[in-house]
Structure 1
């Protein structure tokens, strides 16, 4: 049942992300406004979900899997990243939270630069 909750939630989140991307104003602009808005909205929604599902309704694990792992995971992985950083910060690990934030951004950029370079070397 857990796998089904994640799969259905992920499908719904992915479809919503795609639909928003298609209809978002300023889509041709240099700055990726739709992705930015989706990531910020996903961060907001996972914050609400954390409180409402995990802190307030701790007895319903399928809701967490459907909403947080599935739906918001399909909608944006940035929401999970933001929540994890917040939890580190709130649990008294400010330097670890900052390291996680900066390290993730830098590592992500290095990974994509490496991937693009490798792909261009191997397949062009």
Structure 2
């Protein structure tokens, strides 16, 4: 039987995931694209989500102590639900099937490179700011 901490953590991840997934769904519905076109909305979601993951990790690891459910709720839940490897992979597959291999490969590579660069940028930009008032 799970303890209270496991239940709270699971609830935090679930609630955050719902918020993040709904935000992603709303953006991709607001900015749809044809199967052979570059998925700009999903690209923006994954890159901005990566940036926010970098910021969050800097705040959690270098800043003042945060509530223990902050990382499960925001990191795993909200940002994990917001970003989506599966939706991005489906977009790539659809571009290949639509006869747009150049778009598919560009989207495939650009998303990974830009999202990882965004995580790094978020960490690098945020660490000096949170260290000033953060942990010794």
TM-score by length of 1: 0.57
Matched, 1:50 2:54: no
- The alpha-carbon deviation at position 82 of structure 1 amounts to 3.4
Q: Number of matched residues?
A: 83
Alignment match of 2:68 (pick from 21, 45, 61): 61
TM-score by length of 2: 0.53
Match of 1:9 in 2: 16
Give every structure 1 segment of 4 or more consecutive aligned residues whose post-TM-superposition deviation is greater than 4 Å: none
Judge conservation of contact 1:53–1:64 (CA < 8 Å) in 2: yes
The unaligned stretches of length 5 or more in structure 1 are 91-124
Judge conservation of contact 1:9–1:66 (CA < 8 Å) in 2: yes
- The alpha-carbon deviation at position 44 of structure 1 amounts to 0.7
Q: For the aligned residues, what is the CA RMSD?
A: 2.5
Residues 77 and 55 from structure 1, CA distance in 2 versus in 1: closer, same or farther, beyond 3 angstroms? Answer: farther
The unaligned stretches of length 5 or more in structure 2 are 1-7, 86-114, 125-136
Q: Secondary structure of the equivalent of 1:27? A: coil
The CA distance in 2 between the partners of 1:82 and 1:4, in whole Å, is 28
